[in-house]
Amino acid sequence: MRLTFNAEYQNALADLHRVATEMLRWQRQVSSGYRVNAPSDDPAAASRIVSDRASLSSISQYAHAADMASSRLMVADTVLGDIVAKVSAARTEAASALGSVVSDAQREAAAMALEGLRDAIFSDINVTFRGTFLFSGAASTSAPYERDVAGQIAAYRGDANAVSLDIDIERTVPLTFDGEAVIRGADALDLFESLDGLIAAIRANDQQGIADGMDALDRAFDRAVSVQTTVGTHLAQLDDQRLRLTAARQAATARLSADQDANAVEAITGLTRSETAYRAALASLANRARSSLFDYLK
C-alpha cells in the first residue's frame, strides 16, 4: 500500500511528539530528582506516595508533641523531686525540735528553717512552663496557690482535671497536674497548713503537735513521691514512643524514596537517549518538509 505525503508527515509528527514527551519525562526526573512528578507517571506509586507523605506528616506532629510533653514532664519531675527533698528536710528540722533537752534558741532556729522550706515549696508548686502553671490542673492560667492579704497561703485555686496531649493515635500524656493531690491529698489540712501548725507547735514546745506535724509530713512525702513516680512512668513512655516514631519515620521515608526518587544514572541515560531520538526525529521531519511533489514523482 502506498503512503501519501500527508500520512507520512503526520506519522513523523506523531513520532516527534512521542520522543519529545519521553525527553520531557526524563528531564523532569533529572531536574527534580523524583521518578514520579505526576499521578500519570505511575498511578500506583503516586497513591503510595500520598499515603506515605501523610504518614510522615502525622509522625512529625506526634514527634513534636512528644518533645513538648517531655519538656514539661521533665520540669514537673524536677519540681516534685525538689518538693520531696524539702519535705524530707522539714521532717529532719521537726525531729530536731523533739525532746525536753532542746533549747528555745534551737526550737526557734528549727521553726525559721521550716518557714523557709514552706516558702520554697510554695514557690515550687507555683512553677510555670512557657506561661502556664504545671500544677493547676486544667486551670493552668491561674496559680495553684496564692497568699492572701495577711500573707497566709490560701486554698488551692486550680482543679483536678489534667490537660493531656496526644502522642499517638491512642496514647496521651498529661501536661498539667492536680497540685492539691500533692499538697493535700485526703488530709484535712494541706501541707502549708500542716507546716504552719508544726511551726507553731515547735515554738510552743508542743511535743504532741510536733509529732502530729511530722506524721503529716510523712503523708505529704508519700504523695509527692507517688505523683513523681507517675511522671517518671510517662517520661519512660515518651522515650519508648520517640523510638517507635523514629523507626516509623525511617520506614515511611524508605518507602517514599523507593516510590518517588529517581535513579540518577538511569534518568541521565534516558535523557541522553531521548535527546538523541528527538534530534533524529526532528531532522527526519525537516527532511520531509523540504520534499516537493517532484521528489515523489522521481
- pLDDT confidence of 20, banded at 50, 70, 90? low
Rounded to an integer, the average pLDDT of 272-290 is 68
- Which pLDDT value is given to residue 1? 45
Residues near 23 by Cβ (< 8 Å), separated by ≥ 6?
Answer: 271, 274, 275, 277, 278
> 129 phi and psi, to 5 degrees?
-135, 115
23-38 burial by CB neighbour count: b if 16+ within 10 A, else e? bebbebbeeeebbbbe
C-alpha cell read off for 55: 504518614
Most confident of 21-25, 96-100, 193-197: 193-197
- Computed over every residue of the chain, the mean pLDDT equals 86
- Which pLDDT value is given to residue 12? 63
Give me the DSSP letters along the chain: -PPPHHHHHHHHHHHHHHHHHHHHHHHHHHHH-BS-SSGGG-HHHHHHHHHHHHHHHHHHHHHHHHHHHHHHHHHHHHHHHHHHHHHHHHHHHHHHT-STT--HHHHHHHHHHHHHHHHHHHHHHT-EETTEETTBTT-TTS-S--B-TTS-B----S-SPPPEEEEETTEEEESS-BHHHHHTTTSSS-HHHHHHHHHHHHHTT-HHHHHHHHHHHHHHHHHHHHHHHHHHHHHHHHHHHHHHHHHHHHHHHHHHHHHHB--HHHHHHHHHHHHHHHHHHHHHHHHHHH--HHHHH-
Q: Which of 28-37, 116-125, 287-296 has the lowest mean pLDDT?
A: 287-296
Residues near 228 by Cβ (< 8 Å), separated by ≥ 6?
Answer: 77, 80, 81, 84
User: For residues 80 and 8, what is the distance between their CA atoms, to the nearest angstrom?
Assistant: 87
Q: What is the pLDDT of residues 108-137, one digit of tens each?
A: 999 999 999 999 999 999 999 999 999 999
52-255: CATH number: 1.20.1330.10
Q: How far is CA 207 from CA 65, 73, 192, 204, in A?
A: 51, 39, 19, 9
Q: Which region, left, alpha or beta, applies to residue 205 given φ > 0 means left and ψ of -120 to 50 means alpha? A: left
Residue spans per domain, the chain: 52-255, 264-298
Say yes or no to pLDDT of 291 above 70: no
- Which pLDDT value is given to residue 229? 97
- Which pLDDT value is given to residue 125? 97
Question: Whose CA is closest to 82, among 234, 235, 231?
Answer: 231
Say yes or no to pLDDT of 83 above 90: yes
> Cα–Cα–Cα angle for 63, 134, 59, nearest 5°?
10
Residue type, 220: A
- Which pLDDT value is given to residue 267? 62
